[in-house]
Structure 1
Amino acid sequence: MKKSGLVELHAVAAVAAARSFRAAAAELGLSASALSHAVAAIETRMGVKLFNRTTRSVSLTQAGEQFLGKVGPALKEIEAAMEAATQSRATPAGRLRINTSEGAARGLLMPIVLEFLRRYRDVDVDIVSEGRMVDIVAEGFDIGIRLIDTVPQDMIAIPLTEHERFVVVGSPQYIERHGKPLVPADLTRHACLRLRLPSGTIYRWEFERHGEEIRVDVEGPLTLQDMQLMREAAVGGAGLAYMTERNVAADLAAGRLVTVLEEWTPPFPGLCLYYSGHRHLPPALRAFADLARQMSRKT
């Protein structure tokens, strides 16, 4: 019988852990078809079925559980030995995959990435910016950047900002024509720029004052899914927008936008960089985390 390679053994372990061929393929950096072929190949050579597969689920067979119970510890020892050897490299290398929100990528992440690439020329950085929250481990990312309150507790988190704050903004021309809303209920008489979430639902504006929390389903002539377009529409006088203060700081400083309902938009815990606390850190990830920590202290 032809001997099975480490790729096939890792494929079996990854599918068993993720209970999904798609998620396991992303973690290993393989296509779903390549992963499926690797598992099928080892099953054929062994003459035993390792997984029960349906259109909705993947689970180990009894033979698969017994096999993985013996192979799994050995694979972990091999991985630990390889990572320990990799740590000895003087210069980080390889690929670093980062998942982030679009706003964080545009205003906060890029200065860190550019400095990182300047220092470590043997590392490629792959950034995916999207609105939805993802399981960075299951989907093959090394690092995530999100609001601290949304990060799972088993992750290592490095704060990047002291706090964040959403603000309601409009152009001076819009405010002059329509007046300032004094309480959130006044928004029903204003043109509001609505935000469509990745799920397709319309975001409800959130307010808080003295422990009172309010969410408002705003109405308006324009619905957008891109925060940059929303900023441009607000500057152009199309209506009021609900955005992070960081994303409109330059417009506020220049007088292109002004804030309203300030008492109803208190600050909250800000953005952080996070990564799995259940793995040895590759040199590239460690170097990026250290740089992010250094640069966030300077801001």
Structure 2
Amino acid sequence: MDRDTWNDLAVFAAIVEAGGFTRAGARLGVSASALSHRMRLMEARMGVRLLNRTTRSTAPTEAGERLVASLRPAMAEVDAALIALDVDRARPAGRVRVTAHRSAAFGLVLPRLARFADDYPEISVELTVDDGLTDIVAAGYDAGIRRLPSLEQDMVSVRLDDGARLSIVAAPAYLAAFGVPENPSDLSRHRCLSYRLPTAGSLYRWTFERDGQTTTMDVPGGFVTNDIDVLCEGAVAGVGLACVLETQAAPYVKSGALVSVLEAWRPMLPPNYLYYAGRRNPPPALRAFIDAMKAPAPAGA
């Protein structure tokens, strides 16, 4: 492959990743019109249309999707090879791209970022918050953080915490109107706020644990959301009962805006794991990030 073709492929992948010519041009230091012209020449040379363009958006065609899916792992390997040339550097450098679900982004990554930035000023971190499951290789990420005790065989996982307790909460006014549930079966007479799982598309089934017994059930209710913050705010607004992270609910419970119920039945979520492709040793920048995520959060974070 000649150098021009390789460069064009890299530019094409950058346009798809950025979601358009303007943002890609800002990252690459090239005008949007120059990138558009370059892509038209590339499409003419290859004899296939790779990008659909409108006045408002740019998106890959079906052929473009297939091409970029093949390019991402290859380019990740090239990036890793280039980074490996710097293994003798005194300090790790480069970019680490990470995808994490919302509670991990706020509870695990952000509290450690300030110290990480102080310790490794030559490393930039790009964090994408996404509650769905992500193929990190295909999407061009260096690592992901999810509550997944088992992953694909070619992934290496590093446990980051011990899991998290859930709380069932509601506003005092709601409980005064509908009563306080004493056990999970009482929920049949209540309104419950449901969470739609982003990848599966199904509703989260509430789980309860007591004396070694686990109960999983579908809960009634007329409100569904795909945002965990909306669950908590909906409970504060009196819409109904919500099942949220204990740490998420704690400030509201402390202030009296929410009341925790079914205390003896509260379940634990699985631990968070950081995972990355295991085909090769992680580059120095990723290794530094992994070590930072495993370290205790700074006091007061």
> Given the two structures, how large is their TM-score scaled by the length of structure 1?
0.70
Q: Tell me, what secondary structure is at the counterpart of 1:219?
A: coil
Q: Tell me, what secondary structure is at the counterpart of 2:2?
A: coil
Deviations 1:110-146 (A, max 9, x none): 1122321222222221111112101111211111111
* Aligned sequence identity (%): 36
Shift of 1:6: 9.9
Q: Tell me, what secondary structure is at the counterpart of 2:138?
A: coil
Is 2:187–2:219's contact at 8 Å kept on the other side of the alignment?
no
Is 1:107–1:247's contact at 8 Å kept on the other side of the alignment?
no
Shift of 1:190: 1.0
Are 2:166 and 1:166 aligned? yes
Q: Which amino acid aligns with 1:171?
A: A
Deviations 1:76-101 (A, max 9, x none): 8x888644421112222221111011
Q: Tell me, what secondary structure is at the counterpart of 2:275?
A: strand
C-alpha separation in 2, matches of 1:145 and 1:55: 30
Q: Which amino acid aligns with 1:284?
A: A
Shift of 1:174: 2.4
Q: Tell me, what secondary structure is at the counterpart of 2:238?
A: coil
Aligned residue in 2 for 1:270: 271
Range 122-131 or range 249-258, more displaced: 249-258
Q: Tell me, what secondary structure is at the counterpart of 2:215?
A: strand
Are 2:168 and 1:141 aligned? no
Shift of 1:55: 6.0
Is 2:111–2:297's contact at 8 Å kept on the other side of the alignment?
no
Shift of 1:256: 3.1
Q: Tell me, what secondary structure is at the counterpart of 2:89?
A: coil
Matches within 5 A, 1:232-271: 232-271=233-272
Shift of 1:173: 3.1
Is 1:8–1:39's contact at 8 Å kept on the other side of the alignment?
no
C-alpha separation in 2, matches of 1:92 and 1:239: 49
Deviations 1:46-90 (A, max 9, x none): xxxxxxxx869969xxxxxxxxxxxx9xxx8x8886444211122
Q: Relative to 1, partners in 2 of residues 1:256 and 1:194: Cα closer, same or farther, differing over 3 Å?
A: same
Q: Relative to 1, partners in 2 of residues 1:282 and 1:268: Cα closer, same or farther, differing over 3 Å?
A: same
Aligned residue in 2 for 1:185: 185
Question: Where does the alignment leave 5 or more consecutive residues of structure 1 unmatched?
Answer: 15-20, 44-53, 60-71
Question: Where does the alignment leave 5 or more consecutive residues of structure 2 unmatched?
Answer: 18-23, 25-35, 48-61, 68-73
C-alpha separation in 1, matches of 2:272 and 2:182: 29
Is 1:204–1:218's contact at 8 Å kept on the other side of the alignment?
no
Is 2:167–2:249's contact at 8 Å kept on the other side of the alignment?
no
C-alpha separation in 1, matches of 2:282 and 2:268: 33
Q: Which amino acid aligns with 2:261?
A: V
Shift of 1:212: 4.2
C-alpha separation in 2, matches of 1:249 and 1:115: 25
C-alpha separation in 2, matches of 1:127 and 1:144: 10
